[in-house]
Amino acid sequence: MPSSTSPSHAGKVAAIVAAAGRSTRMGEPKQLLPWGNRTVLGTVAIHLAEAGACPVLCVVGHRAEEMVSALGDAPAQLLHNSDYLLGEMLSSYQVGVRHLQDAASPALGALLALGDQPHIPVEVIRQVIEQANSSPGQIVIPSYEMRRGHPFYLPARLWPELLALTHDDTLRTLLQRHQSAITYVNVTTDAILRDIDTPADYQALAAKDE
């Protein structure tokens, strides 16, 4: 797996996709499920890249070897989270941030994305990226009817705080500390609030996306 990013990534908004989980409620890895002519994970990565995120890092853990084929030709890098059994999503984002910090040309910040939201329109992600480019030091969160969702942007200045969080913390811990630094982007779809946890979720969202 590549271990560094290109200098062309300087000044870009990166994306870190949390895709290491075991999908216990689904009963099988949801990242590998078909979505159109791709997989769920492949579609997530493609949408982030099409919206302008660069680089796109997919952090995997459970059945990691299979995630290579799940990505297909998506322009993304795979990173492995060896702590995925204990660390939940937070540890995956920490893996991605450490990778970005080690890059020769750091990004402005990173979108923290979920690996089970292939239904989020590219335009919605682009709205978040555009706002992040306008206010790179702010946290940028998409909001639908006053409810915030994913993916949201975390500026590089807050990465050390994210890395300092423990297994007892969540991303909400960090957001609560910096509420005055949050900029909301109002979107017109509730896709940012939905993800795929169960077979019923998958069937409903796939039908809606057709």
Task: Please report, in tens digits, the pLDDT of each residue of the chain (210 residues total).
Answer: 333 333 444 569 999 999 887 777 787 788 889 999 999 999 999 999 999 999 999 999 887 788 888 888 899 999 999 887 776 789 999 999 999 998 877 899 999 999 999 999 999 999 999 999 999 999 999 999 999 999 999 999 999 999 999 888 889 999 999 999 999 999 999 999 999 989 999 999 988 876
**Domain 11-209: what homologous superfamily?**
Spore Coat Polysaccharide Biosynthesis Protein SpsA; Chain A (3.90.550.10)
| Residue written as token pair 């969540």 | 170
pLDDT of residue 4: 33
The full set of domain ranges for the chain reads 11-209
**How far is the CA of 78 from the CAs of 55, 61, 140, 167, in angstroms?**
11, 10, 25, 23
Parallel/antiparallel/unpaired status of strands 34-35 and 38-39 = antiparallel
Quote the CA–CA distance of 75 and 71 in Å, as a whole number. 8
Length of the chain: 210
Q: Before 136, cis peptide (omega within 30)? A: no
pLDDT of residue 25: 74
